[in-house]
Amino acid sequence: MEVQEIKVEIEVNGTLQQLTVTPQITLLELLREQIRLKGTKQGCGVGQCGACTVLLNSNPVNACSLLAVQTHGQKVETIESVADRGQLHPLQEAFVVEHAVQCGFCTPGMVMSSIALLKKKSQPKRKEILQAISGNTCRCTGYSKIVKAVERVVKEALHD
Amino acid sequence: MIDFSVVGDSPPRRESVLKVTGQASYTDDLLIPGMVYGMVVRSPHAHAKVKNINSEAARKVPGVLGILGPEDVTQQKFNCAGSPPSPLLVKDEQILTDHPRHVGDRIAAVVAETRSACEQAVQKIQIEYEILPAVFTVKKAMAVDAPLLHPQTTVSNVFKTISASQGDIDEGLAQSEIVVSDVFQLPAVQHVAIEPISCICHFIEKDSLTIWGTTQTPFQERRVLSELLGLPESQIRIIKPFMGGGFGARQQLHNQHIGALLSKAVKRPVKIVNTREEEMYASVVRHEVTANLKIGVNRSGLLQAFDAELFFNAGAYGSHSPIVAAAASRKLQYRIPHYRYQGHCVLSNAPVAGAMRGYGNPQLSFAREILLDRIARELKMDPVTFRLLNHIKVGEKFPAAIDVIQSCAIEDCVQGANGIKLAIDKKANHQLDKSENEVNRAWGVAFACHTSGPSSKEGMSGCLMIANDDGSVQLMTGSADTGHRYLCQ
């Protein structure tokens, strides 16, 4: 059986990537296995837990539930793009300080969903924060510290 | 008061920066040179006999390197629990079986160059089953005509009963002025750690094995593997990378044994990552429990008698069950002269039950605290006052325990909780919209006690610390960090 291959162009973390993919691989497999960006995690593999959340044209999506070919010509951002040359993003800093991280497996997805919210709205209300991370499951923290971390950034931005 | 500079401080965790930037490596993030993939072929039937396995078509899938069936591996029975050796841990499980006893039981395993080749091969393996009658609940498993799960090793599906007692329960109940009883049914619960159970097994040459994987009890797992694979413990190395949660589910072996044998067969490192479906039906659950509870008390509010009979649905294999049932007998932090506990471990064709947060504690505590509330209502006593009146104190023993307890800060605990309650009430009163549609809020109370007092085991914990000349310290410990906050800062 001949394996079909398709050429795609995707902007990943600011770099245009010309890639050859098979039609069945997901964006998550492309990122993790082909580009070797391991920061995005596979939790459930069926779009339920949000561990694989990345930004597609600034919108949060489950990378496990999108085919790589669907992202041709588009812009993908992963957790690896959030810190700027070793300097943590204020949201990452807040996750650390507020103890919003325990096992850490949901953290990259949680950070990406929160970043997407903050990009759209610098002063979200608590309800909007809860809505933004409603697709991300965490089994350790009970969420309250994660919400607190996002609120910390919101508060800091207000004082800047 | 002593002014501590470390105790009471809340420094950020050392590894959080790695986790918020996506740099922390979990098992599935690791690439070992030469690594290939493994997948387990699992039974779709809850109880069956394998009549025939035809893997001819599966072997032809490009990239497939090998397939193992029950006849290709050791038939030795083992117990997968990551517990210290105990006669309570029955050995009734096999690496691969031709007699699956639950949906998800391991029948065969595939090793291939890629995950997708594994998936295709698994689908192409043809297995003929003779379907056997299956029982899923404690009640059905204990019926006279129930099929025996392990006829070679047990004469009944009730394979172990753990007992504990003090005083005379009949006398205690007879003397009690009020006796309250009920039956509580608690369902099985799944851990669902976000990271699936994963391992990479590397059999190097003939006699050394390295495993990277999700584990909470690496040393106990090494001991079980050593016996099962015939390797000295010194030749088995278990490495735990960052782990995406455990909650008890990883206090046991999952795929490490079959991963090791696949690696031995192909002489390459083999990675096995459970799918979410496998996590749900083929890993481990919290025990479904039926709890029959009877509590006797005097009008003065003093507890007299506590009679508990619990039925634990163990699922298809013994695993941790008797130790979980024994643990449940030791979590009774009230002063009760007459006490009887019976914990029956019952085999069934339900998913295997094992360790999960609380380890035998939540089921009985849930039932007990509800009954205590009912008694307090009947006595017209405040539920907290009633509990404190009966709570164990320093110098006393838990019912049926040998050692006296040396510390107990329950009064401080209640006082602290009360402070939090008052603060919440104050804030809520301020904010609550008193309209009719508003959610009604009320307070409830329950006391519980875990891994302290009579539950602690001497010699279970230890560490090696090396202080270096520059003031830095190296810490070696058998405690696995599952992502919670301890070890080093």
Q: What is the pLDDT of residue B377?
A: 97
Q: What is the pLDDT of residue B8?
A: 76
| Mean pLDDT, residues A107-113 | 98
pLDDT, tens digit, 9 for 90 and up, residues A17-43: 999 999 999 999 999 999 999 999 999
Confidence category of residue B425, pLDDT binned at 50, 70, 90: confident
Q: What is the pLDDT of residue B442?
A: 82
DSSP B426-487: HHHHHH---STTSPP----------SSGGG--TTS--EEEEE-TTS-EEEEES----SSS-S
Please tell me the distance in Å from A9's CA to the nearest CA on chain B.
24
Q: Do the Cβ atoms of A103 and B243 come within 8 Å?
A: yes
- Within an 8 Å CB–CB cutoff, is residue A117 touching chain B? no
Give the DSSP H/E element, type plus range, for residue B20.
Answer: helix B16-20
- Which 3 state secondary structure label does DSSP give B244? coil
Cβ under 8 Å to B: A residues 60-79: 78-79
DSSP code at position B133 = -
| Mean pLDDT, residues A90-102 | 96
pLDDT, tens digit, 9 for 90 and up, residues B237-257: 999 999 999 999 999 999 999
- Report yes or no: B310 and B189 within 8 Å, Cβ to Cβ: no
Domains and CATH numbers, chain B: 32-133+194-281 (3.90.1170.50), 138-190+285-388 (3.30.365.10)
pLDDT at B454 over 60: no
Q: Candidates 3.40.50.2300, 3.40.640.10, 3.10.20.30, 3.30.70.3270; correct CATH number of A6-81?
A: 3.10.20.30
- What is the distance between the alpha carbons of residues B337 and B329, in angstroms, rounded to a whole number? 15
pLDDT at B456 over 60: no
* Largest Cα–Cα separation, chain B: 77
Q: Do the Cβ atoms of B195 and A95 come within 8 Å?
A: no
pLDDT at B11 over 90: no
pLDDT at A3 over 90: no
| Mean pLDDT, residues B102-111 | 98
All structural domains of chain A with their residue ranges: 6-81, 90-159
Q: Do the Cβ atoms of B192 and A42 come within 8 Å?
A: no
Q: Which residues contact B268 (CB under 8 A, 6 or more apart)?
A: B34, B35, B36, B65, B202
- What is the distance between the alpha carbons of residues B284 and B320, in angstroms, rounded to a whole number? 10
DSSP A33-100: IIS--TTSPPSSSSSSS-TTEEEETTEEEEGGGSBGGGGTT-EEE-GGGTSBTTBPPHHHHHHHHTT-
Q: Where do we find the tokens 């539930």?
A: A65
User: For chain B, what percent of residues have pLDDT higher than 70?
Assistant: 94
Higher pLDDT, residue B412 or B462: B412
pLDDT, tens digit, 9 for 90 and up, residues B303-362: 999 999 999 999 999 999 999 999 999 999 999 999 999 999 999 999 999 999 999 999
Q: What is the pLDDT of residue B239?
A: 95
pLDDT, tens digit, 9 for 90 and up, residues B189-244: 999 999 999 999 999 987 899 999 999 999 999 999 999 999 999 999 999 999 99
Residues of chain B with C-beta less than 8 angstroms from the C-beta of A42: 28, 196
Q: What is the pLDDT of residue B393?
A: 95
Q: What is the pLDDT of residue B463?
A: 82
Q: Which residue of A has its CA nearest to B484?
A: A102
- What is the distance between the alpha carbons of residues B212 and B271, in angstroms, rounded to a whole number? 9
Q: Do the Cβ atoms of A96 and B12 come within 8 Å?
A: yes
- What is the distance between the alpha carbons of residues A91 and B16, in angstroms, rounded to a whole number? 13
Confidence category of residue A157, pLDDT binned at 50, 70, 90: confident
Residues of chain A with C-beta less than 8 angstroms from the C-beta of B15: 104
Closest CA to B318 of B96, B101, B76, B130: B101
Q: What is the pLDDT of residue B12?
A: 85
Q: What is the pLDDT of residue B452?
A: 65
CA distances from B471 to B15, B106, B462, B467, B474 (A): 21, 50, 22, 6, 10
pLDDT at B465 over 70: yes
- Within an 8 Å CB–CB cutoff, is residue A138 touching chain B? yes
Residues of chain A with C-beta less than 8 angstroms from the C-beta of B18: 104
- Report yes or no: A32 and A42 within 8 Å, Cβ to Cβ: yes
Q: Which residue of B has its CA nearest to A31?
A: B29
Can you identify the CATH homologous superfamily of domain A90-159? [2Fe-2S]-binding domain (1.10.150.120)
Q: What is the pLDDT of residue A53?
A: 98
Q: What is the pLDDT of residue B1?
A: 59
Q: Which residue type is seen at A68?
A: A
Residues of chain B with C-beta less than 8 angstroms from the C-beta of A40: 22
pLDDT, tens digit, 9 for 90 and up, residues B280-299: 999 999 999 999 999 999 99
Q: Is the pTM of this model over 0.80?
A: yes
Residues of chain A with C-beta less than 8 angstroms from the C-beta of B17: 88, 92, 96
Q: What is the pLDDT of residue B437?
A: 59
Mean pLDDT across chain B, nearest whole number? 93
Work out the burial of residue A4: count CB atoms within 10 Å of its CB; fewer than 13 is exposed, 13-18 middle, 19 or more buried.
exposed
In this structure, the dihedral spanned by the alpha carbons of residues B388, B394, B395 and B400, taken in order and rounded to 10 degrees, is: 60
- The ipTM (two decimal places) reads 0.97
- What is the distance between the alpha carbons of residues B192 and A141, in angstroms, rounded to a whole number? 14
Q: Do the Cβ atoms of B195 and A103 come within 8 Å?
A: yes
- Which 3 state secondary structure label does DSSP give B341? strand
Confidence category of residue A159, pLDDT binned at 50, 70, 90: confident
